[in-house]
Structure 1
Amino acid sequence: MIKPLSLQLAVRFMAARQRSKMVSFISASSTLGIAVGIIAILLVLSAMNGFERALQEKLLGVIPDAEIVSLERPMSNWQGFQQQLVALPEVEAAAPFIQLSAMVVRGAELRAVQLRGIDEQLQPTVSDYQQYLEPSLKEPLGLGQMVLGAGLADELGVEVGDTVRLMIAPENGDFKTPKTYSFEVVSLFRFGGQIDSISGFVSLQQGQLLAKQTDTVDGLELKVNDIFAASRIAYTAAAKLPIYVYVTDWTRVHGHVYKDIQMVRGVVYMVMALIIAVACFNIVSTLVMTVQDKRGEIAILLTMGTKSSTIIRTFIWQGALSGFIGVASGVALGCLAVIYLNPIIGLIEQLLGTSLLSADVYFIDHIPTVLQRQDVLLVATIAWGMAIVSTIYPAWRASKIKPARELGGH
């Protein structure tokens, strides 16, 4: 296969410039700049993708996609409402709940807890909370039994099998002595983050007894087929119920996490363009110096009948090859860095004796990474495209060299 003359000249010029230390240094720095920029961008984008997936699969697997709460508590005929909601095409499941604010007491220690009465047959259809129980429950929760958040249990010094007391104030706001109930902790809910420090679960029947309700609930949790449209779906579903309700969804409490991820992603793309642009400026400098160094050779080529378009393509090829080396090495090293990011961070944490993400604060204890093909292709395409665009001016300058002036000694 015969290579185009412009490509052959570009390869010869690239090989010849190795004799010039300054040109070689600038060329190497431009290639290195592109590679380092791509590595950094792939690492950040992969981390953003990882956090987004962790948010969707883990956090949103535990908290409800949406809740519909009766304004005229309690909600009666919840079974009929539950069937009506599940019949909607965008609602996958619905489960009843009772929400109680209480204080959990263990010896001299006292902590607040958000106690939730759940239907253990329907709850798994809207939440993955059972995956985080230690130990797993083989039998349904009975009266006088509860699941306590692991963070709350650690603060109180409670273990599975211990007994705690719950203090529940009257719902009507009367200044009466809170009633106290004894509960056995049969399992711990270990999810991570602040949820562990405020959560407690009892059976729906137990919740009804504590709230003094008979076959009624506070509201229904919903699982929808599109979590990013949860607000719209929940409001549409609630409008079909014959009662007044209050509607909320996951975006009200945790939506800022998703919005922050998207905002950072946008900032990363802007930074990517700036990093690659700075690296491409070095390509411009390299080609300008190469053109200056090869003015005589270019003049001879033009005198021998080489077209100006061939000269332009020669320097475009030269910049494209330099950019391709930087892009290829950056993509290869960036993918390796993403794959081995957590082992590297683990080693750094061991050396520093600290943890970057504490499970007591965040719902994950590591930096999740998801390397997506479209991110790699987008970054590589933009970087190589900017490298090629940066060659246009030096290539145009090279094609404007006057052979008579260069060869005539004027």
Structure 2
Amino acid sequence: MNMPLSLLTALRFMSARRSSKMVSFISASSTIGITVGLVAIILVLSAMNGFENALKEKLLGVIPDAEIVTLQRPMSNWQGFQQQLSALEGIEGVAPFIQFSAMIVRGETLRALQLRGIELQFQAQVSSYQDYLQPAWPETLKNGELILGAGLAAALDVKPGDSVNVLIASNQGSLKAPKSYPFKVVALFRFGGQIDSISGYIGLPQAQAIKGNGDSVDGLELKVANIFDANRTAYKAASQLPVYVYVTDWMRTHGHVYQDIQMVRGVVYIVMALIIAVACFNIVSTLVMTVQDKRSEIAILLTMGASTRSLIATFIWQGALSGLLGVVSGVSIGSALALYLNQIISFFESVTNRHLLSADIYFIDHIPTVLRLDDVLLVASVAWAMAILSTLYPAWRASKIEPAHELGGH
């Protein structure tokens, strides 16, 4: 199949640009600009995808999807509520809990502690705590046994098998002297971030004994099928209960993490448009200079019978090919770097002996990346479309050249 005359002419003009160093430099700059822009955008979007994936798979695996607490504590008949909620659509698990604000003591060291009474057989249905325990998840938590956050254990210089004292107020919120309860640390909860530095878990029966409310609990923790619909699912489930309850979900407690990721993603799309726009401006400059440099050749083509449409197509082809080169190289380099970004960052961290993310602060200690085909296709399509749009003005300028004027000695 013969190539169109406009494409052949465009290829001829592109190969002839090397005679003009300025035009060649600006043309190369436009291609490199698109390449660099796409590489940066693909890397950032892949990192945002990775953080969002880590949020869903890791952080939301250990924090409650939703919690239901009766307005008048404690919650009696929680077993009946648990069975009722478990039968509802969209609810995958229900676990009782009791929450304490306490202090933990080891020698002369005193730290704040968010103590939670849990039933392990139910807790495993609503969270993945067991994946972060060292040693392995115990079958049950007996009286006097404690699972402690690894960050808190490090601050107290505690390891499994050591004993600690936990100070709990006789009546939460009262001014009475707190009672001291001895505990043996049986496992460490090593998740990362601030959760490690404040968390502790004891068996539900002992928590009920400390609370002094018989078989009652503070509330029920829910595991929902769709975490992004947790609020609606939890409220719908709570409306089925015969008592007034307070409902909270992960978006209220940790939703800022997800919102920050989405905000950064939106900013990246704006930056993407600006970067590609600057690169495409160089395409405009290149084609305008090409039109100026090839005025006589364009006039000859028009004299030989080339149509205005064919002439416009020539410069659209020229800009499209230049943009396509930048898009292909940018997508190729960006995708390759995104796939191996974690290894690249790990290498530089080992060389510089510095960690980009600290496990003491963040719930992950690396830059996660997830390369998505739809992101790559979107940024590539937008970049190439902008490159083609940038050819319209130079092509229009070329079509307005008058052969008689150009070949008449001027």
Map of 1:276 onto structure 2: 276
In the superposition, relative to structure 1, how do residues 154 and 365 fare at CA in structure 2: closer, same or farther (>3 Å)?
A: same
Q: TM-score w.r.t. structure 2 length?
A: 0.98
Alpha-carbon deviation of 1:303?
A: 0.6
Alpha-carbon deviation of 1:172?
A: 5.5
Q: Give deviations 1:166-202, integer Å, cap 9, x for gaps.
A: 1111225443321111111000000000000110011
Task: State the identity as a percent.
Answer: 69
Q: Give deviations 1:4-23, integer Å, cap 9, x for gaps.
A: 11111111110111121111
Alpha-carbon deviation of 1:83?
A: 1.1
Alpha carbons 2:316, 2:388 under 8 Å: kept: yes
Alpha carbons 2:117, 2:204 under 8 Å: kept: yes
Aligned counterparts, 1:1-400, within 5 A: 1-171=1-171, 173-400=173-400
In the superposition, relative to structure 1, how do residues 278 and 173 fare at CA in structure 2: closer, same or farther (>3 Å)?
A: closer
Q: Which amino acid aligns with 1:190?
A: R
SS in 2 for 1:408: coil
Deviates more, 1:82-91 or 1:329-338: 82-91
Deviates more, 1:224-233 or 1:58-67: 224-233
SS in 1 for 2:171: coil
Q: For 1:159 and 1:306, how far apart are their aligned partners in 2?
A: 84
Q: Which amino acid aligns with 2:275?
A: I
Q: Which amino acid aligns with 1:251?
A: M
Q: For 1:138 and 1:233, how far apart are their aligned partners in 2?
A: 31
Uncovered stretches (5+) of structure 1, i.e. residues with no partner: none
Q: For 1:38 and 1:176, how far apart are their aligned partners in 2?
A: 63
SS in 1 for 2:369: coil
Deviates more, 1:270-279 or 1:339-348: 339-348
Q: For 1:273 and 1:101, how far apart are their aligned partners in 2?
A: 49
Aligned length: 410
Q: For 1:86 and 1:400, how far apart are their aligned partners in 2?
A: 74
Q: For 1:258 and 1:337, how far apart are their aligned partners in 2?
A: 25
In the superposition, relative to structure 1, how do residues 19 and 115 fare at CA in structure 2: closer, same or farther (>3 Å)?
A: same
Q: For 2:364 and 2:210, how far apart are their aligned partners in 1?
A: 33
Q: Give deviations 1:115-143, integer Å, cap 9, x for gaps.
A: 11111111111100110000003431111
Q: For 2:253 and 2:2, how far apart are their aligned partners in 1?
A: 64
Alpha carbons 2:63, 2:127 under 8 Å: kept: yes
Q: For 1:187 and 1:200, how far apart are their aligned partners in 2?
A: 10
Q: Give deviations 1:267-299, integer Å, cap 9, x for gaps.
A: 110110000000000000100111111111111
Alpha carbons 2:120, 2:139 under 8 Å: kept: no
Q: Which amino acid aligns with 1:218?
A: D
Q: For 1:191 and 1:38, how far apart are their aligned partners in 2?
A: 34
Q: For 1:94 and 1:172, how far apart are their aligned partners in 2?
A: 25
Q: TM-score w.r.t. structure 1 length?
A: 0.98
Q: For 1:99 and 1:222, how far apart are their aligned partners in 2?
A: 15
Alpha carbons 2:193, 2:361 under 8 Å: kept: yes
Q: Give deviations 1:226-269, integer Å, cap 9, x for gaps.
A: 11111121112112211121111111111111111111111110
SS in 2 for 1:388: helix
SS in 2 for 1:343: helix
Q: Which amino acid aligns with 2:236?
A: T
Q: Which amino acid aligns with 1:276?
A: I
Q: For 1:282 and 1:106, how far apart are their aligned partners in 2?
A: 66
Q: For 1:355 and 1:5, how far apart are their aligned partners in 2?
A: 57
Q: For 1:314 and 1:329, how far apart are their aligned partners in 2?
A: 23
SS in 2 for 1:350: helix
In the superposition, relative to structure 1, how do residues 123 and 9 fare at CA in structure 2: closer, same or farther (>3 Å)?
A: same
Q: For 2:172 and 2:377, how far apart are their aligned partners in 1?
A: 60
Uncovered stretches (5+) of structure 2, i.e. residues with no partner: none
Q: For 1:253 and 1:138, how far apart are their aligned partners in 2?
A: 28
Alpha-carbon deviation of 1:351?
A: 3.2
In the superposition, relative to structure 1, how do residues 161 and 399 fare at CA in structure 2: closer, same or farther (>3 Å)?
A: same
SS in 1 for 2:342: helix
Q: Give deviations 1:83-119, integer Å, cap 9, x for gaps.
A: 1111111211111011111111111111111111111
Q: Which amino acid aligns with 2:401?
A: I
SS in 2 for 1:223: strand
Deviates more, 1:297-306 or 1:238-247: 238-247
